[in-house]
Amino acid sequence: MQGLNLPQHIAIIMDGNGRWAQRRRKPRIFGHQEGAKRVREVVEAAGEIGVKALTLFAFSEENWARPEDEISGLFGLLRHYLETEIENLHKKNVRLKIIGNVARLPESCRKLLIEGIRRTSGNSGLVLNIALSYSGRTEIVDAARQIAKSVQAGDLVPEDIDANLFASFMTTSDLPDPDLLIRTSGEQRISNFLLWQCAYTELYFSDLCWPDFRRSDLMLAIESFSSRHRRFGKIDATAPQISMMTEPC
């Protein structure tokens, strides 16, 4: 990874588990099982490379509309992941964090998550942030409601509200915004994920379904990121000035 501009925070929409399984004439949960193996692989790789934070979209607020057996299968996989992986994460200095509506999760998962967060709270390596029952719009609405309450209580005045204050009310306020968002399965959408945080995030779309996304594919995404010029709405003062008449965009 030497010489590469490493993203500090990578966010991943792990899409395509269901299609991957269906193409193999297997039940959708088989795709999620293989997907959970890729979670292990990618978390390990991100930690080893020196990425500071990895946010994984594991279950959206909209996913509650899926069939009951798929939902319980997914939370079964999450339970198994937490039961078998927390000690390993702890040994690797990973700190677990959760965003989303945790109160809606099954009690057994909630307990494991709380225990995992407590166990790893002192770690200083990779932050593994799992988005569960998460919606970017709900997160923004919740932040607006909290700010309104602070104004009502007299702790803030409307003139205090700016982008920095707003960001401090988001559930990721302790993390840098994602530098790189990866979505697998060929779909090119953000799908209500980290809407506030991804304002200037570089997007990378892979045609691979998530169960096929390996460590080497993460490296390809990072290489692509590393070759991009980020301008954050400004101009790149280091780039050579090229005549508009002679060079295509």
Answer yes or no whether residue 192 interacts with ligand FPP by CB under 6 A: no
Interacting residue with ligand FPP among 36, 105, 127, 218 (CB under 6 A): 36
Answer yes or no whether residue 32 interacts with ligand FPP by CB under 6 A: yes
- Please confirm, yes or no, whether 63 is among the known catalytic residues: yes
Interacting residue with ligand FPP among 81, 134, 193, 213 (CB under 6 A): 81
Interacting residue with ligand FPP among 6, 49, 77, 198 (CB under 6 A): 77
Residue 247 beta carbon to ligand FPP: minimum distance, rounded to whole angstroms: 39
Taking CB under 6 A as the binding criterion, the range among 35-43, 137-145, 149-157, 214-222 that sits at the site for ligand FPP is 35-43
Answer yes or no whether residue 15 interacts with ligand FPP by CB under 6 A: yes
Answer yes or no whether residue 73 interacts with ligand FPP by CB under 6 A: no
Answer yes or no whether residue 56 interacts with ligand FPP by CB under 6 A: yes
Please identify the residue of the shown chain whose CB is closest to the bound ligand FPP.
18
Q: Is 155 exposed, middle or buried (0-12, 13-18, 19+ CB in 10 A)?
A: exposed
Answer yes or no whether residue 42 interacts with ligand FPP by CB under 6 A: no
Q: Which residues bind ligand FPP (CB under 6 A)?
A: 14-19, 32, 35-36, 39, 56, 58, 63, 74, 77-78, 81, 130, 185, 210
Catalytic residues: 15, 63
